[in-house]
Amino acid sequence: MDLSRQKEQFSIAWVRAVVSVAGYAVYQPEVDDDSVDLGIAVRGGRGTVRSPRLEVQLKCTAEPIWQSDPMRFTLKKKNYDDLRGDDLLVPRMLIVVCVPEDVDRWIDQNEERMILQRCGYFLSLRTFPARSDGKASVTVPIPRRQQFTVAALRDIMCEIGQGRRP
């Protein structure tokens, strides 16, 4: 498997691990033509919106973007346009999983634990402006405090369940 596919599969596994611990379900579109790699669904819920959902675009990088705050991540303009805006039925987010350059360091495991190296970060592009500068890519700032953790995911899904957009 080439490195690009390894990154793709690792980011999917990483997000699935967080989602499963949060107690939610993951669904995967048959075709990724709308910049949605995975969907996250809550069964039922106690908010004003029943069964809230979130759709995510996953990216994985070994670039040391995590060394700055905010991190700067470059997206294809198509992905940027598909993720931004307030007119989506299901809210969308970008999740960037940062990994070590050495693939053999992505996982550290023994009988007691398995550590997935490094960290994932999320960004809602809902309020980002349309871009018409003719460039093929857009660089977005991702605050390091926006780590994609179980607690953060629960907060996001609760917000969606209350009828608010993250």
Which CATH architecture best describes the domain 3-161? 3-Layer(aba) Sandwich (3.40)
pLDDT at 31 over 90: no
> What pTM value is reported for the model?
0.94
Judged against a pLDDT cut of 80, whether residue 100 lies above it is answered with yes
Task: Give pLDDT, residue 65.
Answer: 85
Please give the pLDDT value at position 37. Answer: 97
Domain extents in the chain: 3-161
Q: What is the pLDDT of residue 86?
A: 86
Tell me how crowded residue 35 is: count the other CB atoms within 10 A of its CB.
Answer: 19
* Residues whose CB falls within 8 Å of the CB of residue 75, separated by 6 or more in sequence, listed in order: 59, 83, 94, 137, 138, 139, 140
